[in-house]
Structure 1
Amino acid sequence: MIYDNVKIHDNFSLEIKSIYEIISEKKKTNYSTITYLFIPNGLNINTQTYPKSKFYNDVKVYIRYNASEYTLDEILNLKSGPLHQLIKIVKKISSKKVSKKNKLEFESRVKMLGAILNNTLKNKTLILKENKKLEINNIIKCFEKLKKVLATYRSLVVNVDALEIDEDLKNTIKYGDEYISNITNYHLIIWLENFKIKNVEKELLKELIGFIKEEQTYRKTQNFDVTDNEDFFDEMLFHKRSQLKKFIESVLFLNRDIRKDGTFFEQSIFALAAGLAMVFSTAIAFYYQQVYGNFTLPFFIALVVGYMFKDRIKASIGLLFVSKASSFYHDFNIKIKDSATNLIGIVKENFTFVPFNKLGPKVKKHRLKNKFIDADYNFLGEQIIQYKKKIVIYPKKFGEEISDNRLNSIVDITRINLYRFTTQMDDPKKEYSLLKKGKIINRVGNRIYHINLIQKFYTEKGIEFKRYLVIMNRKGIKRIEPIELDVL
């Protein structure tokens, strides 16, 4: 099954996040996705101005495990859960000389606990936002459980700091402590804002504010937010938090081995083309040699003409292959491997422009829904980018190197930078006039452009569609609106 959402990453980039689940623990799981970008002709994005190389330069793809889902109760109590697994490895490094294997496991356990706790708090935040009525007792119990997780972890920090081991190991668990403090503080503030909107009881607000203050006091004692000045949004503070996030969540990221797809077949075709061209050229040479003999002007002309045709035959067959290859091969074949070089899956990518009449009937109907102008589509005109992905997941080695039996999905994060699309846009502000009470009034309006995005998902459960409207101007993306589709 695929879970998917599209959001703004920065001013000019949209982020497509897809979660692919393992369907079977024995057989490989296959997914295919096609993303269509419908771009107004006026933006001058077409096959001449926007080739494959520019598109792939504007696309960043990150593949990682999707953090396992645990409740706070499970984190605290499950013997196979991330907290108890961390406690076990701390005991191991406390009782004997630390082996390389134990060092790697210790670092992995610290990172896994941080990543899982972040996922747990994210899910809890979504639940609290969706619930209109909040039960005070349940939320206060949630605070108590979270405090217990923090206290247990921080007792481990003290224990590890007292050991005679490498400073790197001590720093690892301290980095984990700061990361956990960062995400806890972040989610608690979101909860507070949400509770205020819902006008919850003062008792609950008081309890939450007290929790936030406790955490902020702890942060001060550990010098987590120390900067050169008192500005909380200091650039060094943001940089440090970004580095911490990358350090902890690196346990989930997978390596990508990128190769051009169909390289062997392509080279074989080029070799065959060269051979056919040589056969033609040699046959011409032999024929005119027999007719006119050696060292004659007609024979010399025949050799030159034969060479000219030989060169064109080789190039023509090569171009024919390139034009037809996209039907059989993708642009890139990406092997997804874990840190132990186990093959987790394969992703294949393909980019091309397609005409509207080549789209499937359902894609056409979804695109034509909610037209602003009820006119012929071809008259309005759009360039259509088609970005295909084929994903294969192999379950045998899935999550083996981090020993988490709850891992059951990978996350594909694709960021598409649309900055090139803005170069031909008009000024974001345009003046217009209107007549009001006999007077001409000049006003300034926003000049925007619509880029439609349709996704087509092939899963083992069938085909699904989603559509989004990306609204942007020369200064960047203003917002992304999901479009509800009709059932076809």
Structure 2
Amino acid sequence: MLDIKVRSHDAYTLEMKVGFIKGKEQHKSDFTINTWIFVPNTLDLNKSNYSKDQFYSDVKSKVRFITPVYALTAIVDEGAIPFNNLSAATQHLLKDETNQHVYEIEYQLKMFMAIFRSALRNAVTEFKQTKADNHATLIQSYVSASIAIRDKYRELKESLHQNEQVVRKEYFNYFSFADEYLSYTLLRYSFLLLDRLMLVTDERFQLLQQQVKELILSEQAYMKSKGYSFIKVNEQGLNQAVIYRYAMLNKYVESDLLLESNKKKDSDGVFVQQVYYSIAAGISMVFATVIAFSFQQKYGNFTMPLFVALVVGYMLKDRIKELTRFYFAGKLGGKYFDNKTEISVKGKKIGWIKEAVDFITDEKVPSEILSIRNRSVLLEVENRIHNEKILLYRKKVSLDRGEMMKDSTYFFKGVHDIFRFNLTRLLQRMDNPKVPVLSLDEHNDQVIGFYADKVYYINFISQIEYENHTEYKRYRIVCQRDGIQEIEELFT
């Protein structure tokens, strides 16, 4: 199955996170996502001023494993896989300090912290979505589990710290990085939880608020003792450094979830394209040769008519070649892809992603997509004069679960394809975000002037095909020149 989440990554960037989730019994499967992007004609976007290279430069994508899901209470309890994996890797390293064991301990540290962060996020989300009657149980579980996890991890780290030979090793830094990341992450989600709790005025929640505060204060005290910085009010320079360091540690922790990718031109499409272009050149050459031979046979060599025929034949040959190339390019556009990205883990290929983008006309848009687009009467009238511009972005994914799970100490249910589309090139074509307008005041006595927002709507419609199923998603991006204002999911 697929799981799709769309949000604004920043003021100018749209992020679409697509989870390709495979069943335990499936070894291979393919997913196809076709996305039609409907751009207002007023933005004057077309293939002559927005090339494929420009589109791909605006797009940033990465593929990563979906973080294994564990409840907070299942991370360090007896029999808990995350801590057991970390503890076992540590013992193996102490017994035999090979490069493989060093790599494994770093991998297990990153996975442990990624799972911890995911569990904290899920716990806070569950609290926000749960009725107040269950809040006390959730908060107590959150606090006790968080304390157990940090204490258990730090006991392991401290046992290594007492070994002077280990402390001098480079890999001990990995434990320190993970420890600092644990602190930042615990503070971040605990503050989100406390902020939510503070909205509740019920006296019964004061004790819960105090428990979360004590968790935060104890963690800040530990960070201070270790020399870790944390966010403080009115400390701009310090806060900049903290945010930067947390971002770096976050990338470090995520690095083993990211899959190695190698993007290049799709060889199938390139080969077929060159074959058809060769045919186009051959057709034009046949035409020019027929003209030359015909005039030579009729008028002889070195005559003016033959000279004129050769010039005209050469002129028409080039035009015929270009027209034929254009014709074949149009025919090939929907069958082949621009790029192919090979996905691998530890150098082993586990799948690929193919992608392509093209401007298309209404006639090439399937009727069901136009129905979902559901243009207003006014927009249809405008379309008779100036057509809405349509970009079709195609993506096909193939994954091999057998290769994904080989030699892995965790079960990965699938991967996330994170697609970010920077809309700056589109936004810079928009008018001023505020326009002056006039209206009567609330008493209908005087005319007053003020500014109103001028927005543009960019519609995204995705068709998702997998396992003989087809789903449709529609999103409307509300934009102004100064950025994305809102993302609306319109149910199909």
TM-score (norm 2): 0.90
Match of 1:189, SS?
A: helix
Distance 2:138 2:418 in 1: 34
Tell me, yes or no, if the aligned pair for 1:39 and 1:383 is still in contact at 8 Å.
yes
Query: Which residue matches 1:407?
Result: 412
Distance 2:53 2:135 in 1: 54
Paired letter, 1:327 = G
Query: Which residue matches 1:458?
Result: 465
Counterpart selection for 2:436 from 405, 422, 431: 431
Match of 2:255, SS?
A: helix
Distance 1:225 1:381 in 2: 55
Query: Which residue matches 1:222?
Result: 226
Q: What pairs up with 1:74-473 in 2 under 5 angstroms?
A: 74-77=74-77, 79=79, 81-96=81-96, 98-133=97-132, 134-161=134-161, 162-165=163-166, 167-199=169-201, 201-225=205-229, 230-231=235-236, 234-261=239-266, 262-286=269-293, 288-338=295-345, 340-368=346-374, 371=376, 376=381, 378-379=383-384, 382-400=388-406, 403-436=408-441, 437-460=444-467, 462-473=469-480
Match of 1:86, SS?
A: helix
Tell me, yes or no, if the aligned pair for 2:113 and 2:181 is still in contact at 8 Å.
yes
Of 127-136 and 434-443, deviating more is 434-443
> Cα–Cα, structure 1 residues 46 and 277, in superposed 2: closer, same or farther, change >3 Å?
closer
How much is the aligned-residue C-alpha RMSD, in angstroms? 2.6
**Offset at 1:63?**
0.8
Match of 1:465, SS?
A: strand
Paired letter, 1:453 = F
Tell me, yes or no, if the aligned pair for 1:23 and 1:29 is still in contact at 8 Å.
no
Distance 2:126 2:116 in 1: 15
In structure 1, stretches of 5+ residues that fail to align are: none
> Cα–Cα, structure 1 residues 24 and 392, in superposed 2: closer, same or farther, change >3 Å?
farther
Distance 2:104 2:420 in 1: 32
> Cα–Cα, structure 1 residues 368 and 283, in superposed 2: closer, same or farther, change >3 Å?
closer
Q: Which runs of 4+ in 1 moved over 6 A?
A: 226-229
Deviations 1:352-395 (Å, cap 9, x if unpaired)?
223334333332232227x4958647358522222111111111
The count of residues paired between Structure 1 and Structure 2 equals 481
In structure 2, stretches of 5+ residues that fail to align are: none
Deviations 1:414-465 (Å, cap 9, x if unpaired)?
1111111122322112221123343221122222222222222112262222
Of 422-431 and 23-32, deviating more is 23-32
> Cα–Cα, structure 1 residues 438 and 53, in superposed 2: closer, same or farther, change >3 Å?
same
Match of 2:49, SS?
A: coil
Deviations 1:77-107 (Å, cap 9, x if unpaired)?
36471211111111122223x1111111111
Tell me, yes or no, if the aligned pair for 2:73 and 2:141 is still in contact at 8 Å.
no
Tell me, yes or no, if the aligned pair for 2:72 and 2:123 is still in contact at 8 Å.
no
Match of 2:256, SS?
A: helix
**Offset at 1:290?**
4.9
> Cα–Cα, structure 1 residues 170 and 249, in superposed 2: closer, same or farther, change >3 Å?
same
Of 17-26 and 301-310, deviating more is 301-310
Tell me, yes or no, if the aligned pair for 1:175 and 1:244 is still in contact at 8 Å.
yes
**Offset at 1:308?**
3.6
**Offset at 1:46?**
2.4
Paired letter, 2:263 = I
Paired letter, 1:415 = R
Distance 1:9 1:240 in 2: 20
Of 441-450 and 154-163, deviating more is 154-163
> Cα–Cα, structure 1 residues 78 and 333, in superposed 2: closer, same or farther, change >3 Å?
farther
Distance 2:366 2:401 in 1: 32
Paired letter, 1:431 = P
> Cα–Cα, structure 1 residues 90 and 163, in superposed 2: closer, same or farther, change >3 Å?
farther
